[in-house]
Structure 1
């Protein structure tokens, strides 16, 4: 679901601590407890993490829908805002790590920035009240990004700090529990928050106040639980800004290379031109770090694909059918729950089944190889997304172009009608409609004749003007006053409603007052329940209303019996069902005792099931498990132990850069369709993977790491001491990366 943001165990997450300082810290820890005493302070941290992740993913799940539906941003604008927010979230850990390691320490950093986080959640919720305003959301999202991003590099290592020497097994179990709480919080929030948004109504609209308010409450509980454990925590003081020190070393190396290379004797690497500022050991560590970071260069594109689950894929789901029959209706923003569900299933499958099997079969599956496979699979996910988008596009309504007019005929009388006209020549069966088609704009005659067995034949003839770039409905009906045949021309709506909604226009041959026509969801028993009630007040022409966008449901149409008391309804309402994405003309005839309703689909409803998104979610999750966890394993095993926190921050920065890629692509106006955009991402990912595969073939693994030992045969380089060191490194990296992947 997400990228790891915890650092590694306490011995490597504060890398600038010297040996003597480490001894002092260990002695300070032992003053708190013995190695036989379990640090129950971690339960406060685990509860804090569950609440924080629920808050973050709950807010994030509905964010793009909030931006498009409530704040009325376009889909490209909403996508850009979503990814700009995500970009800030994953750029802030670098600053948060500097603050925690060099100034405030982890405890204060987490506490203070969590309060900022809660303030942002509260502002986002309160400003979701009507009227819609964008600036409240902007302030709230900025504070949330600063808060969640600022604590990302501190929470997991702060939990690891609670364990002392001799408690390594308990420490590993903490990481497992930490990882579980993250996925549990994200999974539950992605399921629950869309329900709060759509199924609870506030002010006659989706209840964004509640949908953002519950995550805000969870964030308050997160801060509270973390604060309650304050007297139980082991709090390691800040030990220096290792990230700042690393960047300064790189800076002095570059400057020294430029200024001194012509005068001093050559160095074996340009970083060694900083030898007047830093010792050789630290410079060598930075050199190894740059070697690892070079392998990070192609990685942002993966996150550009993965993060679209919350933006483009959610918008794609809005154009699909979420009806699951007896299982209810899936909301577009709930589809994201597939990711954490699949992650929880796939990780044990790979760790306990697939990887051991590959080892037994002597099939190489080192971290870089796994990452390459994961990247290839991820490109396949966007091929699937493009295919689904193609299926959606061919079911979209045909639009008229300049010089054309669109036409369809609706027959509302209970017998066949023959039409003789350049617009249509043939019969239209009773209570049916023709297909929509386009014709050149202009003046056209229409001759209609009834073909009713046993009744007299009636005819109608008239001329109609069809204007350029407009769509029309010809509605055939019998006048209730004299039972004469009529054909009337009304504007039609050809654009599918956004966000999975539907659109209706009511046509009637009855003599009714329009402000007494009300449609109510059939599940509501009384008019006093004001949720989702639509009252048709506006009339475009005689006998027909304008199109109204409403939520898909089964509705009952009523006539208010008393104009002055709209709470009194007729005893018998007439039911009809509208579906997601459909545009309908609802024909109403008769009075309260003889009313009849017939539904015409001017534009067909969404027919592609949301379940077709499952393959692309499976592929992107499979790619994430292979890529993300293996990437952390590679990074931590290959980076110097003194600079692992730097690696963690740069890893998260690749996520931020991936979001920047999405923002750029979303704003390229030359891309003709969403389907083409998906295919472009698939192609870019494929090419990017080829580059990364070539880079991985030339990468030389760090000596004494488990990855290096896997590459050599028994011989001088493969001795017992090296194996022991490598296995220790592997336990301190592979295990941690698996636990911390999804944070």
Structure 2
């Protein structure tokens, strides 16, 4: 034994262990749990932050969301190169985690809606400032979370010796649980934090808290990881196999075309043109990798559908009823269904479904499983489209860009006759409205109220309520033309009383409302909204209205209103449009189908990639797999911006159709794929490698060192299969 080997063995023996496991892995597991909590917690509320805080529409919110996710899956390549070529895994994780933490803190600051005392109305005081901060924060987060993604699990594997294969496998099982545990808890908790109200001068959804808690968990993640640095086994960077593969491919292409006009014998494969510089073993390994990467080409379409859980499906949930009786589910909390189903479905598929298929003598090969996974995911979007059609049927018929809508509200106890040009005459009941809005393509409308004629001018794309009495039209109100955000309910008051009144909901005061005038809208959460009505003399009346999700009401205080015990007797709540009636539980069907597709697709894909990859290039295929996720998110943002489909259900059908088409193409490609045994091919090439090629000895030696480094860093097959949360 050499002195170097003896020192290494002594250092290994001196490292503390618990039950045969290195103590260092516990720091890594806690680090991963906190980091995944931070990432998924922030991501769960991100699209609602764009829509309700920044004020972007659904399409642009979806575009920015998927741009961010795409960046998160592009940067792992950069992180792997930095770790393997320059800094090593430990320093890469530390430095990029600092960047990550700064990004999370910036996101929390960007969500503070009243940073300056000039803003007291609940709106962002400087939209450009908030947008700029959030974009900087998201860029840093994408660099951080993506950069450390390929390093943390491999660094955990580095802590074990060669004889600790069983312990290493158990570690990655725990590592997998940490990933899904962090995801599950954060997806449950951060929407609850967002639903709270906070602010210095005005109250609104507490995005600073929803982003702040993940930022705090990222600080904990970084501190815990650094705290264990004395116990870690750290290897120096030994060169990046990914760069070596790229160089080999580049040389083959360059050599092929530079010799195109010369009379060289034809070669069996275009990669054989790299033989002048690179070892045959490396070339054979690159061929194996390219063969699998070619099959990856159709796969981004699956991720294009899968990652819409956090964007389109979350926005869909905002138009649904989240009342489950014993508890209320926030729209962004529905994403928790996916990690719950993953933990449930993986063992069911492995121990029940696959054995049953095998007993039926069906050859369910890995590539067939991937094809089935894509088709099941397409079914999930068909289910989402059918659900969206049901939601659209319950939505109000808002005016188009060339229309206006009008209805009437009678302030008196006696019915008032109304005639509108082009409509049948009708009567508005006392202390009530004409219920349905009338839609007009013209903005100037002739109206007769109580026999008094007038011509009213209205705005395009707007809804209006006209206050009337026997004396004619008294006032025109501008109504809201979209569902209230975040499942809230919009409530306003019309003062038909003879004197000025004040209206208050919790700490929100609508101010004095003059007779025959209306207040602005107040947003009330699901349940009982308790209002306080106060007159000029200080007399008070408490009025309670029960509301659901996403409704709008105009509450009329009649002329017969009197303060006292029965003050609410004659108050009338008029429903401008009703609450969401399609229950959020219907989304479970599409989540179930998509998760089944994920389990079959993602787990099998990792298994297939591992089995078909050379021993030292599994990291290259992992980078390629992550790249398919990034490309999938780019597809979503292209469709969201360029698709311009009028209905959301049609977009769901489009995505489902595209995935079915891609599945057919993939099945055709898979039919011609021949499974190989990389270890056997490598062994044959190593055994019969020519010994007289001295000009390649240097390259071969470098490649061998890289091979050994990556073999030592690779995790077991079972480990990679389990890591579906990437």
Larger RCO: 1 or 2 (CA < 8 Å, sep 6+): 1
Matched, 1:607 2:581: yes
> Residues 128 and 24 (structure 1 numbering): CA distance in 2 closer, same or farther, change over 3 Å?
farther
Describe the shift of the 1:181–1:230 C-alpha distance in structure 2 as closer, same or farther (beyond 3 A).
Answer: same
Counterpart in the other structure of 2:487: 500
Separation in structure 1 between the aligned mates of residue 10 and residue 355 of structure 2, nearest angstrom: 41
In 2, Cα distance between the equivalents of 1:399 and 1:282?
64
Residue 572 (structure 1) shift: 3.8
Shift of 1:474: 3.9
Q: Following superposition of structure 1 onto structure 2, how do residues 1-12 of structure 1 map, counting pairs within 5 Å?
A: none
Could you say what secondary structure the match of 1:272 adopts?
Answer: helix
CA contact under 8 A between 2:157 and 2:715: conserved in structure 1? no
After superposition, give the CA deviation of every residue in 1:528-552 in whole Å (9 maximum; x if it has no partner): xx4xx2424677x942234455544
The residue number in structure 1 matching 2:116 is: none
| Alignment equivalent of 2:465, drawn from 470, 473, 493 | 473
Does the 8 A contact of 2:500 with 2:512 survive in 1?
no
Superposed, which structure 2 residues align to 1:691-702 within 5 Å?
Answer: 691-702=665-676
Q: Is 2:582 the partner of 1:595?
A: no
Query: How many Å separate the matches in 1 of 2:651 and 2:6?
Result: 56
> Residues 69-148 of structure 1: matches in 2 within 5 Å?
69-130=52-113, 131=125, 132=127, 133-148=130-145
Change in CA separation of 1:519 and 1:269 when aligned onto 2, cut-off 3 Å: same
Structure 2 distance, partners of 1:74, 1:421, is 35
Q: In the alignment, what sits opposite 1:310?
A: 310
Counterpart in the other structure of 1:243: 242
Aligned equivalent of 1:629, options 599, 603, 614: 603
Does the aligned pair in 1 maintain the 2:16–2:231 contact within 8 Å?
no
Distance in 2 (CA, whole Å) between partners of 1:504 and 1:557 is 10
* Aligned-pair Cα RMSD in Å: 2.8
Q: Which runs of 5+ in 1 are unaligned?
A: 1-19, 449-459, 478-483, 521-529, 564-568, 707-727
Q: Does structure 1 residue 576 correspond to structure 2 residue 568? A: no
Q: Distance in 2 between matches of 1:733 and 1:650?
A: 19
Unaligned runs of 5+ in 2: 114-124, 681-710
Shift in CA distance, 125/420, structure 1 to aligned 2, threshold 3 Å = closer
Secondary structure of 2:573's counterpart equals strand
2:40 counterpart of 1:54: no
Deviations 1:169-194 (A, max 9, x none): 11111111111111111011011001
**How far 1:689 sits from its partner (Å)?**
0.6
* Contact 2:500 2:536 survives alignment (8 Å): no
1:446 equivalent in structure 2: 448
How far apart are the structure 2 equivalents of 1:538 and 1:411? Answer: 18
Any conservation in 1 of the 2:615–2:679 contact (CA below 8 Å)? no
Deviation at 1:388, TM superposition (A): 1.7
Structure 1 residues 272 and 612, CA gap change in structure 2 (3 angstroms):
same
Residue 519 (structure 1) aligns with: 505
Q: How does 1:360-399 map to 2 (within 5 A)?
A: 360-399=359-398
Are the aligned partners of 2:468 and 2:475 in contact in 1 as well (CA < 8 Å)? no
| TM-fit CA distance, 1:657 | 0.6
Q: 1:199: Cα distance to partner?
A: 2.0
Instruction: Give TM-score scaled by structure 2 length.
Output: 0.85
On the 8 A contact 1:538/1:546 being kept in 2, the answer is no
Aligned residues: 664
**Higher alpha-carbon deviation: 201-210 or 141-150:** 201-210
Distance (Å, rounded) in 1 between the aligned partners of 2:31 and 2:530: 46
Conserved in 2, the CA contact under 8 Å of 1:637 and 1:705? Answer: no
Residues 25, 660 of structure 1: alpha-carbon distance in 2 compared, 3 angstrom cutoff: farther
Question: SS at 2:574's partner residue?
Answer: strand
Over 3 Å counting, the alpha-carbon distance change for 1:468 and 1:40 in structure 2 is closer
Q: Deviations over 1:99-151 (max 9, x none)?
A: 11121111111111111111111111122223351111111111111110001
TM-score (norm 1): 0.84
1:291 equivalent to 2:295? Answer no
1:586-735 matches, within 5 Å, as: 586-589=555-558, 590-593=561-564, 595-596=567-568, 597-668=571-642, 670-703=644-677, 734-735=717-718
Deviations 1:212-251 (A, max 9, x none): 1110110011011111111111112212111101000000
For the residues of structure 1 that align with 2:284 and 2:147, how far apart are their CA atoms?
29
SS at match of 1:369: helix
Counterparts of 1:205 and 1:507, CA distance in 2: 24
Residues 733 and 366 of structure 1: CA distance in aligned 2, closer, same or farther (over 3 Å): farther
SS for the counterpart of 1:667 is helix
Q: How does 1:334-349 map to 2 (within 5 A)?
A: 334-349=333-348
- Residue aligning to 2:690: none
Q: How does 1:223-234 map to 2 (within 5 A)?
A: 223-234=222-233
Mapped contact 2:432–2:572 kept (Cα < 8 A)? no
